[in-house]
Amino acid sequence: MKGYLTSAAAVLAGATLAADGIQINGAGATFPNPIYQKWFSEYNKLHPDVRINYQSVGSGAGIRQITNRTVFFGATDGPMTNDQLLAAPGKILHFPTVLGAVVPVYNIPGVSSDLKFSGTVLANIFLGTITKWNDPAITQLNPGVTLPGTDITVVHRAEGSGTTYIWVDYLSKVSPEFRKRVGVATSVQWPVGVGGQRNEGVAGLVSQTPGSLGYVELIYALQNKISYGQVRNMNGKFVRASAESVTAAADAAAAKMPADFRVSITNAPGDAVYPVASFTWLLLFENAPDKKQAKTMVEFMKWALADGQKYCVDLGYAPLPKPVVDMELKALQQIKTQ
């Protein structure tokens, strides 16, 4: 019976060999969904016999699904914990795919300028200790901008989310009180606010709610034309999220990248660094049941790490540093394909 269940799980794991080729299913983070959809579409044009499907369900769900082998690959913006890795039915490997930024998005009628935020101010807003837009802590960072005395409606993710992980990882580094009360995880207990499903849901709530403040991956702010602010970095400089400022955050990490690629680059030093930046990871079993599926994913990853990187900037992401790509190409050899 156990063998039957294992075989059934392997089939459900999302790679089925059909008459016209191979289909592979994955699920996870919404953060990289725009570029993943672009990649899978472009790769299918090059390899019509390969179809890779991806469900943008959030990092928490992606980790659960690959752990349960209901998809062939997972995706997350927050690396799996040691406990999560130990609970998996096999060794799961992390592969960075692109870099991105999480930005504070807001809807303040009549205010069109880019607001400036410090990490401490953002932490206190999400702790509920700053509740008005004209709080002195905000106005002193934005001289010349007239901010209303309206309440701040905090918008956060409702489900387990890698975007949340990046956001709270940063806020916990700059605010001991935030680390103590909220902590770092893909799913946290928020002291205040309303929840939206996925990046799309948070962007929608902010767009529809005057006085609101939330956090989304940069591409969702750009696509929805939502105002987003600059954030003061470790060196005291206010920096706007861009491919260049995110790449600057990754440069230091690239030189100290651990072998398993599980690293945080939030609040990195440097004048040009945007401080709420992160890698996002694709998750693969080292020894997947179906070697043809594994070989297909390895070949796709080689393409994504090379030609696929050219699509990053237009979609609001930053390409991977070359030293990281070189490390990954070697790490891909760990995937058993025969």
Residues 95, 215, single domain; the answer is no
The predicted structure's pLDDT at residue 11: 39
Q: What is the mean pLDDT of residues 96-107?
A: 97
Residues 200, 186, single domain; the answer is yes
Among residues of the chain, what percentage have pLDDT more than 90? 87
Band the pLDDT of 20: cuts 50, 70, 90. low
Q: What is the mean pLDDT of residues 23-36?
A: 95
Residues 112, 250, single domain; the answer is yes
Residues 109, 250, single domain; the answer is yes
Closest by CA to 118, choosing from 291, 204, 239, 286, is 239
Length of the chain: 338
Inside any domain, residue 49? yes
The predicted structure's pLDDT at residue 253: 77
The predicted structure's pLDDT at residue 3: 42
DSSP character string of 239-306: E---HHHHHHHHHHHHHT--TT-----TT--STT--SSEEEEEEEEETT-S-HHHHHHHHHHHHHHHT
Residue numbers of the domain that contains 108: 101-255
Look at residue 170 and tell me whether its pLDDT is greater than 80: yes
Based on the structure, what is the number of domains in the chain? 2
Summary mean pLDDT of the chain: 92
Looking at 220, 255, 290, the residue that finishes a domain is: 255
Residues 198, 160, single domain; the answer is yes
Q: What is the mean pLDDT of residues 313-335?
A: 95
Taking the C-alpha atoms of residue 272 and residue 231, their distance in angstroms, rounded to an integer, is: 11
Take residue 146 and report the two structure tokens written for it: 């007239």
Inside any domain, residue 273? no
Band the pLDDT of 5: cuts 50, 70, 90. very low
Residues 31, 106, single domain; the answer is no
Look at residue 54 and tell me whether its pLDDT is greater than 50: yes
**Please, are residues 56 and 44 in contact by the beta-carbon 8 Å criterion?**
no
Does pTM surpass 0.85?
A: yes
Residues 81, 144, single domain; the answer is no
- Read off φ and ψ for residue 195, nearest 5 degrees: -105, 145
Q: What's the CA dihedral at 46, 47, 53, 56 to 10 degrees?
A: -20
Band the pLDDT of 255: cuts 50, 70, 90. confident
Among residues of the chain, what percentage have pLDDT more than 70? 94
Taking the C-alpha atoms of residue 39 and residue 24, their distance in angstroms, rounded to an integer, is: 14
Residues 176, 208, single domain; the answer is yes
Inside any domain, residue 65? yes
Q: What is the mean pLDDT of residues 181-198?
A: 96
Q: What is the mean pLDDT of residues 29-55?
A: 97
Inside any domain, residue 271? no
Look at residue 1 and tell me whether its pLDDT is greater than 50: no
Look at residue 8 and tell me whether its pLDDT is greater than 50: no
Inside any domain, residue 125? yes
Inside any domain, residue 312? yes
Residues 59, 172, single domain; the answer is no
Pairing type for strands 230-232 and 116-117 reads parallel
**Please, are residues 167 and 83 in contact by the beta-carbon 8 Å criterion?**
no
Look at residue 117 and tell me whether its pLDDT is greater than 60: yes
Inside any domain, residue 269? no
Tokens 């799309």 — which residue?
200
Residues 7, 151, single domain; the answer is no
Residues 123, 238, single domain; the answer is yes
Residues 251, 287, single domain; the answer is no
Q: Residue 55: beta bridge partners?
A: 27
CATH of the domain at 70: 3.40.190.10
Band the pLDDT of 252: cuts 50, 70, 90. confident
pLDDT by residue (tens digit) across 264-323?
999 999 999 999 999 999 999 999 989 999 999 999 999 999 999 999 999 989 999 999
Please report how many Cα atoms fall inside a 13 Å half-sphere around the Cα of residue 286, on the Cβ side.
12
